[in-house]
Every structure is written in structure tokens, then in C-alpha cells.
Structure 1
């Protein structure tokens, strides 16, 4: 969602971080937001882009984290639209891009010049420097995380239960659900009558591939076969 003072928040189907430290975003071309930005001209308008990270399984509270990007929102000049669309499509071929600057245009392409970034989850909120944002790289398991968490929830309750044994005793009385998975560890959500609690179980060291991830999870589970089944020595 992108929000501007005095206008209801607007869904933006494309929000792409560019290498110059700005976001390319699309907004409905016939809406109040597009008209407001067009009227402002080169000065642009102050705006906040809110990105919500939802858990891939059905939790009581589905939101895992939020990111707010504040900055100045301006139109992209007509002469630059096609080139910018091609640049975005090269790494994110979003179908919504086809509805920008076309005969049946539904969206206008804009650029949000970043002034500040704040990331928040159950542990609190923290400011993120634009340089750190640009230097960040996707987690090696981000494309697979949703499927893996769904698989854990539906088919491997035993794994979740063994991970839950690492939790403080007071939290084990709730319903433990898989919440997140990345190169640094596993996150669990505990749903109980006293409220929901998120707990992170860190790996001993970051992992970079599926083999390392499997071993790290077995360590957390307390599995004696850290490298899989071993042949018996005679």
C-alpha cells in the first residue's frame, strides 16, 4: 500500500527497489493519488510505502513483519517509462507491468525517492539505512520458504514438536506453528490463551544451501545423525 496525506491508502501491485536507492511503484492511473502527484509536478508529494509480510500458513495473526518506506513520490517522465519497465521486468516480470503506459493503461509508473526505512516485527521496530538496504541480498531460501513452512505444518508435525522442545516451558503449553525459515534460523509462533508469541531458534552458523539447512535443523531437533544415517562399522 502507498499512502499520501488526505487520500485513502492505495494498493500498488509493483514496488521495485532500484539501484539508485529509490522505489519504482505503480498506482491506479485514474485515482486521486495519480492526480495529486501529477498536479505537484517536479516537487512531488510526501508518501509512505507500506509492505506487509504475511505468513504462508493460516495463523490467528497472519502478519509476520512490516516495512515502511517514506519519501517523495514523483511521476516518471513519459520518455523514461519504457526503459524503466524493461529494467523492472528483467528481474521481476510482474503482469501488472503490461498495464502501464499501454493502450489499456490501468496504472501510472512513479518513483519514490527514499528518505527513511523502518522495519518492524514482533521484537520491535528498527531504522534501516538506505545503503544497507541496497547492499542486502535475498536469503538463499526465500523462494522456497513458503512451500517448506506449509509442508512442515501439514506433513511434519513431528519436526515442529521436536523444535518446540527447545522453547521455554511456559511457551510449550500453546499451539506451536512454523513461522519463518532463513539462513540464520527457524522462527516459531506460539498461539495460546495468553496471546501469541514469536520465538527464534538460531542456527549455530549461517547456512547457504539445502544440505547445510537440513543439518542445521537436525541439530536444533537434537537428532544424533547430524549428517544423515551412517553405515554401521563392523
Structure 2
């Protein structure tokens, strides 16, 4: 926030965040956080603010940051929504969002932001990626066979395959050793739940082993 200095960077890190029905972002912070003091003193004035989010892969890989997002807008207090002692809820009215991730850089307007829905795989992604990396490393490695000549080259070089990202549309794998190389393996159709995801992953691994 312009003009708001925090002696410790983590003091303005939300303890929790949730999207409202109208696309606003509600942020739970300690009541003594600099952001809370600034929003309280601003009262009815609009306080410009930017929420920065960093997405880190749950498995150790080179270049572990998968993406960053910035949500900019105006911050006001929402004291009636905080039910815990020594906590304060703030409301961020979204003016614009920007995303820089594995798929590129893009802007998101407030209407698109409000209409977006969460990927059904997101709540389970970290656990599933860790499971794939720990218990099915050989099957993930076999996915190189779906990459044709490039996959054969990766195998000759002894590249290690690490599951990097998972969503309703497919699996992304990073081949490490030397210069990292990412490969995206799309599912035949988007999955709607964990059951569909497991079927899609099994079909992908069967295709790679066949």
C-alpha cells in the first residue's frame, strides 16, 4: 500500500483470504497489522492496495515458483466479519488482476475475476503431486515416451521427471538435469472431481507404458 510502511514484511500477510459473491477479496489479518491501521484511519476514503500471491510448486524442482499474481484495488475495513479475537477483516474491491504463470502473462478484469470458478483439483493438487513424486516416480518418468524424439533424447540424457502442476485439464512435468524442460500432458477432457482425475491419470500412464 502506498505510504504504509511495515517493519516486518510478514505483518501485512493475510492469515486467510476468501472471495466474496461479488468478486471482492476478504482478507483476515491481525488487528495490529499496518494494513488494518491504515484502513481504519482511512475510514470512508478509498485506500489503494495490491495483494501479491506467489504459487510455489509442492515438490523441490529448479525454478520452483510456478506463478505470481497481483490483485489491485481499494481496501476498506469489514469489522463485523471477523469472529476471532485480535483479528480484523478487510475487504479488497478488485480493480484489476494480473497473472504471470506457466501459461504466460495476462490481465484479468473485475468481471472475469468475479465470474471465475476454482479448479476442482486445486484443494488436492499438492497432496497428489507429492504422492506421484514419491510413490510413482517411475510412471511419471515413463511419460517421456509420449514426447516422441524429444522424449527419447530426455531418456538418453538421464533426465529426472518431476510432477510440477496438476489441474482439471492435465498434468505438467518438469524434466530436470541440465536445462529444465517442461512438458504438458492434457487429459482427453476436463475432469470434474477426484474420481475423474484418477481415471484420467491412469489412462495417461497406460498410454505411456503401452
TM-score in terms of structure 1 length: 0.74
Q: Which residue of 2 aligns with 1:71?
A: 73
For structure 1, the 5+ residue unaligned runs are 86-96, 227-234
Assess if the C-alpha contact under 8 Å between 1:50 and 1:68 holds in 2.
Answer: yes
Which of the residues 107, 116, 121 maps onto 1:127?
A: 107
1:208 corresponds to which of 168, 189, 192 = 192
How many residues are treated as equivalent by the alignment?
201
1:32 is aligned to 34
Q: Provide the C-alpha distance between the structure 2 equivalents of 1:129 and 1:166, rounded to a whole number of angstroms.
A: 37
Q: Does the residue aligned with 2:43 lie in a helix, a strand or coil?
A: helix
User: Which residue of structure 2 lines up, in the alignment, with residue 22 of structure 1?
Assistant: 24
Q: 1:125 to 1:36 in 2, by over 3 A?
A: same
How has the CA–CA distance of structure 1 residues 21 and 210 changed in structure 2, closer, same or farther, with 3 Å as cutoff? closer
CA contact (8 A) 2:66 2:101 kept: yes
Q: Which structure 2 residue ranges, 5 or more long, are not aligned?
A: none
Deviation at 1:52, TM superposition (A): 1.9
Q: Cα distance 1:65–1:171, how it changes in 2: closer, same or farther (>3 A)? A: farther
Structure 1 residue 222 displacement after superposition: 4.6
- Structure 2 residue corresponding to 1:185, chosen from 166, 170, 175: 170
Match of 2:88 among 100, 104, 108: 108
Computing the radius of gyration over CA atoms, which structure comes out larger, 1 or 2?
Answer: 1
- The CA distance in 2 between the partners of 1:50 and 1:134, in whole Å, is 18
C-alpha change, 1:225 and 1:31, in structure 2 (3 Å) is closer
1:118–1:126 contact (8 Å) kept in structure 2: yes
SS at structure 2 position matched to 1:137: coil
Which string of whole-angstrom CA distances, capped at 9 and with x for unpartnered residues, describes residues 104-144 of structure 1? x1x32211110001122133211123223232223222222
- The Cα shift of 1:212 comes to 3.5
